[in-house]
């Protein structure tokens, strides 16, 4: 277990990881879980401590269905220009909540907005955290249709890709929900295997 930043997995293997940030949400996450179950695919959900506390039963549902859960800070406040104490607190508090809800093993971290400054990197290095960023972020929150999300993901899809989509965060994610259902069969058709982040980077 050592500090390392990942943006993708092995480029030589036709595997990818689907990741979801800012959930869980009682409507959008549950619909996404249905699509994942239909194709028997495992994904990784980066959850804030605040949302995990609010939707603990959903966190347990995600675990129960065999998906992976990562730490996305406690409050989703940017980690830029923060004190060491603030950063440690955001991460440790969330790890504790996730563990209490049944998350097992090493918990990976994804900083809010994917951003860290020198201090945040130093703290995370001391905490020996694995940082999971992405190489395939279609900015689904800016897309006007599910088709646009699907197109953008497929255009950038490569062996080892880490895809990031959003299933919560207090806004309507129906475009993303529908995109996931369209995207899975397209990715499978191209011969890719879906893996959790820990499988992809192992
Ligand atoms: Zn986020």
Q: Please give the distance, rounded to the nearest whole angstrom, from the Cα atom of residue 39 to the centre of ligand 1.
A: 26
Model confidence pLDDT, tens digit, residues 57-85: 999 999 999 999 999 999 999 999 999 99
Q: Please give the distance, rounded to the nearest whole angstrom, from the Cα atom of residue 72 to the centre of ligand 1.
A: 7
**How high is the pLDDT of residue 2?**
83
- The percent of residues in the chain predicted with pLDDT above 70, rounded, is 100
Range of the structural domain that residue 138 is part of: 4-201
State the Rg of the chain over Cα.
16
Q: Running DSSP on this structure, what letter comes out for residue 24?
A: -
Q: Please give the distance, rounded to the nearest whole angstrom, from the Cα atom of residue 136 to the centre of ligand 1.
A: 15
- The percent of residues in the chain predicted with pLDDT above 90, rounded, is 98
pLDDT at 1 over 70: no
Model confidence pLDDT, tens digit, residues 84-143: 999 999 999 999 999 999 999 999 999 999 999 999 999 999 999 999 999 999 999 999
Model confidence pLDDT, tens digit, residues 177-187: 999 999 999 99
Question: Residue 107: which of 45, 50, 55 has the closest Cα?
Answer: 45
Number of domains forming the structure of the chain: 1
Q: What angle do CA 73, 46, 178 make, to 5 degrees?
A: 135
CA dihedral 139, 168, 182, 141 (to 10 degrees): -20
Q: Determine if the peptide bond prior to 24 is cis (ω within 30°).
A: yes
Q: Which CATH number goes with the domain that contains 188? A: 3.20.20.370
Q: Catalytic positions, please?
A: 21, 166
Residue with tokens 């959930």, as numbered in its chain: 23
Q: Is 109 exposed, middle or buried (0-12, 13-18, 19+ CB in 10 A)?
A: buried
């Amino acid at each position: 277990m050592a500090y390392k930043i990942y943006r993708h997995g092995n480029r030589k293997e036709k595997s990818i990881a689907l990741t979801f940030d800012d959930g869980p949400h009682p409507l959008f996450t549950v619909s996404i879980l249905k699509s994942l179950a239909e194709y028997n695919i495992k994904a990784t959900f980066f959850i804030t401590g605040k949302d995990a506390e609010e939707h603990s039963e959903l966190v347990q549902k995600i675990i129960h269905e065999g998906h992976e859960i990562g730490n996305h800070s406690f409050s989703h406040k940017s980690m830029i220009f923060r004190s060491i104490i603030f950063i440690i607190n955001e991460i440790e508090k969330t790890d504790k909540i996730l563990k209490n809800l049944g998350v097992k093993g090493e918990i990976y971290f994804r900083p809010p907005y994917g951003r860290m400054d020198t201090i945040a990197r130093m703290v995370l290095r001391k905490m020996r955290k694995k940082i999971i960023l992405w190489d395939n972020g279609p900015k689904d929150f800016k897309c006007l249709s599910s088709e646009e999300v699907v197109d953008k993901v497929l255009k950038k899809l490569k062996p080892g890709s880490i895809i990031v989509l959003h299933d919560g965060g207090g806004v309507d994610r129906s475009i993303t929900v529908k995109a996931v259902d369209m995207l899975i069969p397209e990715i499978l058709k191209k011969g890719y295997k879906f893996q959790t982040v820990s499988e992809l980077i192992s």
